[in-house]
Structure 1
Amino acid sequence: MNTYSSVAKAYRIGTTLLASLAFSSFPAMGSEWPPTLDPNPAVQPPKWDWQLAVPVKENPDPTIKIYDIDMFENENSGAIQMLHSKGYKVICYLDVGSWENWRDDATDFPQSILGAKYSGFPDERWLDIRDVNPQKSKTGIKLAEILGRRFDRAQRMGCDAIEPDNIDGYDKAAHGSSGFPLTYEDQIYFNLWVANRAHARGMLVGLKNDINQAHDERIYNTFDFVVSEQCFQYNECNFFSDFLRLNKPVFEAEYKLALSKFCPAAKVNRISAIKKRPALNAAREDCSAYY
């Protein structure tokens, strides 16, 4: 379920809003970086907050050590500097698989790689992700250049990791057609390209949803963590079992379920689960009471 576009991006509309890195074991609560999981389910996994709304606000819970925020909206906000000064690590959200017409680099995208409208959002269109592949590009890999500049911006901002969104354009079971004949292998090529470009800049990278490729060893061996939405509500958390087996965190957000409906399972499976409002503002609940 790519619910960020149908939930969190609705907030923006309403308010105008290298190889895999090695993990090292460390104490609970995400106090070190890269984040990893304790093998003991009784130890709470790294705690996170997801704030794509601006301004970013520090959560009063001092045991949260990881914040996931919007890259573009915080490029000049000082949020990353504020969070770093207090010892937090920062994941930066940015879209890589679809085009958003309000971004400051929107005119850089060739019309030929803009596909079908993202269902429900007329100002967004799917991208022809094959364009990063020199063997399939018809523009001289313009998409690779554009996304490379975005990753450079994230690196300059001080992002410790990126959350690349809409990296399942091939998957018609998850959403409407992208408008391009994307294959499973096209998506694998693109997703590994994104991960390797992030790693080359010293940033970790998360698998955003993309449940039907999460069991592919090329994916779970390369991506450093997962960002998932509503996997308990939609019974999709099992797709991330290989990440969990490798002690790679699954940062998960629910919007509708009560804590009692997902926290016990989150504990057993060592998932970093929280409950957020659809606006993805500072409001947050987590499973701490279950540990």
Structure 2
Amino acid sequence: MRIRLRRRAVVARPLRRIVAASVALVLVVPAYGCRVEFTPPGAPTRWPADQARHWQWQWQLRGPLDPTVDADVFLLDPVATTAAQTAELRSRDRRLICHVHVGSVRSADPDASRLPAAVQGSSGRQPGSRWLDVRRWDTLEPVLADRFRLCRGKGFGAVALADADAYAHRSGFPLDFDHQLLFNRRLARLARSLDLSPGLVNDVPQVAALAPDFDFAINEECVRLDQCAKLLPFADADKPVFHVEYTGSTDDFCVTTVGYGFASIRKERTLNAWRQPCPLP
């Protein structure tokens, strides 16, 4: 009697494994079968050259996220945006860019305590922010890598490097052009090592030098500042230029920027959900 019971137990164990594996297979297969082209979280975003002049985009850092905006690309805050929201956007075939401050730290940042006072300089662009000493790569790299990992973990495929121009401001450190150039190139390599497509935010004076290192550019107000021609190294290489103006009429500036091949929108400086896009060429 005991022998029979043992045999049944031995037979039951493999049977349970088979059933469990079958259930797992049933759960996994539809995810691949329904959308074969769906890019898994953490994979770097691709920017096909033949679509470089045909993107529509949205930049939203404040207010309730509106996933229904008619845009191919969303630039979002990684802390405020949930994984459920990125999953919804990805189900709509949206490309997601993670907005990361790489050259500054804000007092409200969850990781602010990890950056010692020695690498924090003068007040930055944002209230409560300070510029970082970009020469201190050994100190900054672990923190920035974790910021990038947060993006990847939430399903972003690209990262936009904000405040990557401390050398052009009164940062509190003796930073020069070459210090910033080295730092930005290191960031691009770091992003790629974590399966993220790197994008440069502003830093127009270094665009010609950095365009080969980055996959796309984010620019604010190149029309108002008369700087649009300086972004052509990206456009000429069939890399997207996502451009925004905060003043003026789209009837006026779209003629210039769409002619350059940029994806242009009009936004409020608060960067909430409202946007007014330029028509595609």
1:72 aligned residue: 79
The whole-number CA distance in structure 2 between the counterparts of 1:120 and 1:57 is 24
Deviation at 1:81, TM superposition (A): 1.2
The whole-number CA distance in structure 2 between the counterparts of 1:286 and 1:83 is 19
Asked if 1:207 corresponds to 2:204, the answer is no
Deviation at 1:35, TM superposition (A): 2.2
2:29 aligned residue: none
Asked if 1:183 corresponds to 2:176, the answer is yes
Query: One-letter code of the match for 2:247?
Result: K
Would you tell me which structure has more helix in proportion to its own residues? 2
Aligned match for 2:216, one of 203, 225, 231: 225
Computed over aligned residues only, the root mean square deviation of the Cα atoms, in angstroms, reads: 1.9
The whole-number CA distance in structure 1 between the counterparts of 2:154 and 2:259 is 36
2:98 aligned residue: 92
Q: TM-score scaled to structure 2, two decimals? A: 0.80
Query: One-letter code of the match for 1:113?
Result: V
Q: TM-score scaled to structure 1, two decimals? A: 0.77
3-state SS of 1:144 partner? helix
Q: Where do 5+ consecutive residues of structure 2 fail to align?
A: 1-44
The whole-number CA distance in structure 1 between the counterparts of 2:77 and 2:225 is 25
How many residues are paired up? 238
Deviation at 1:152, TM superposition (A): 1.3
Query: One-letter code of the match for 1:51?
Result: Q
The whole-number CA distance in structure 2 between the counterparts of 1:163 and 1:120 is 17
The whole-number CA distance in structure 2 between the counterparts of 1:51 and 1:230 is 16
Deviation at 1:106, TM superposition (A): 0.8
Structure with greater Cα Rg:
2
Contact 2:161 2:201 in 1 (8 A): yes
- Residue by residue over 1:60-115, the C-alpha shift from the partner in whole angstroms, topping out at 9 and shown as x without a partner, is 42xx21111011111x3622111112111100101010111101111111110000
The whole-number CA distance in structure 1 between the counterparts of 2:260 and 2:49 is 11
1:245 aligned residue: 236
- Percent sequence identity over matched residues? 30
Deviation at 1:54, TM superposition (A): 3.5
After the TM superposition, which residues 127-276 of structure 1 pair with which residues of structure 2 at under 5 Å, given as runs?
127-132=132-137, 141-171=138-168, 175=169, 177-216=170-209, 219-276=210-267
Q: Where do 5+ consecutive residues of structure 1 fail to align?
A: 1-32, 133-140
Query: One-letter code of the match for 1:259?
Result: T
1:51 aligned residue: 60
Asked if 1:101 corresponds to 2:111, the answer is no
3-state SS of 2:218 partner? strand
Aligned match for 2:117, one of 105, 111, 115: 111
